[in-house]
Structure 1
């Protein structure tokens, strides 16, 4: 079975299609994450060079937490040189955790040992203990609610999401 046909990758690709993140299969040269690159509201995937399929969800998180106006500029010369900010990086990590929970994927699928500057175990530990680093930022973006606001509004708290894409 090819990587593209694996159960987890199929699940991720179907989810991304449902939330309107385009996947474009193409040959890529050297990229920051092997086999992946971002473009305007899309993820480019080179399955021959993709090392960690969980990175697809992390990259999707970058698209999801970026405003719709800026999302159109990703991968072009018009995107700010500051993109993604450190806050957006944290938000993308937490978003990918929520997506993994929603898809019933093991956290190790996303937070693999060769990523996240060797902090994968630390992220898994924190998120598993409901220490959601970056949650106020995702709330501010209108993507989810923390426990207090969720209880007040009678809605599900994070890791449940109100919506998957920032306006």
Structure 2
């Protein structure tokens, strides 16, 4: 599938599930080319975006974030925003859950996993992650179950909801 079609499918999916995003013209000071977290919304510059699958991973952060804190996602979420108010293990758990969410989304949309795990990402571990997820392993999917987002009876990557509604406090 060509890039333009990939982007169309991904953006339609985000709209369908109600995940907040906005197409914008961004500067060069973004954490990933063409992507910026801004006050609880993912801003996307299609002209600067390098890898369409990066949208899925970053959207995953919104989808799995503690619902009462989603509006706080802003800037580089590991250097600003939520990092200062949350335990590091909770942030790392959500990073793993966002990764699993992006895999579930890619599979649901009919993409191969290299759309998410492209050659420039994941510190050279893309192939290992693809292999792990393709063989029933991978990281983060138990958290999707804990957040009541995945279908335990059908198994990962089947999702029953795309945006987390269950808080740890419930």
Measured against the shorter chain, the TM-score band is 0.7 to 0.9
Gaps of 5+ in 2: 166-170
CA distance in 2, matches of 1:85, 1:55: 18
* CA 1:8–1:78: 2 relative to 1, 3 Å: closer
Q: 5 Å matches for 1:66-81?
A: 66-75=65-74, 79-81=82-84
> What residue number does 1:157 align with?
155
> What residue number does 1:52 align with?
51
- Offset of 1:52 from its aligned partner? 0.8
Gaps of 5+ in 1: 151-155
TM (normalized to structure 2)?
0.84
In 2, are the aligned partners of 1:21 and 1:41 still within 8 Å (CA)?
no
4+ residue segments displaced more than 3 Å: 76-80
* CA 1:51–1:61: 2 relative to 1, 3 Å: same
In 2, are the aligned partners of 1:143 and 1:163 still within 8 Å (CA)?
yes
Cα RMSD, aligned residues only = 2.0
**Number of residues paired by the alignment?**
156
**SS of residue paired to 2:82:** coil
In 1, are the aligned partners of 2:150 and 2:158 still within 8 Å (CA)?
yes
> What residue number does 1:10 align with?
8
TM (normalized to structure 1)?
0.85
> What residue number does 2:168 align with?
none
- Matching residue within 56, 77, 87 for 2:93: 87
* CA 1:78–1:111: 2 relative to 1, 3 Å: closer
**SS of residue paired to 1:133:** coil
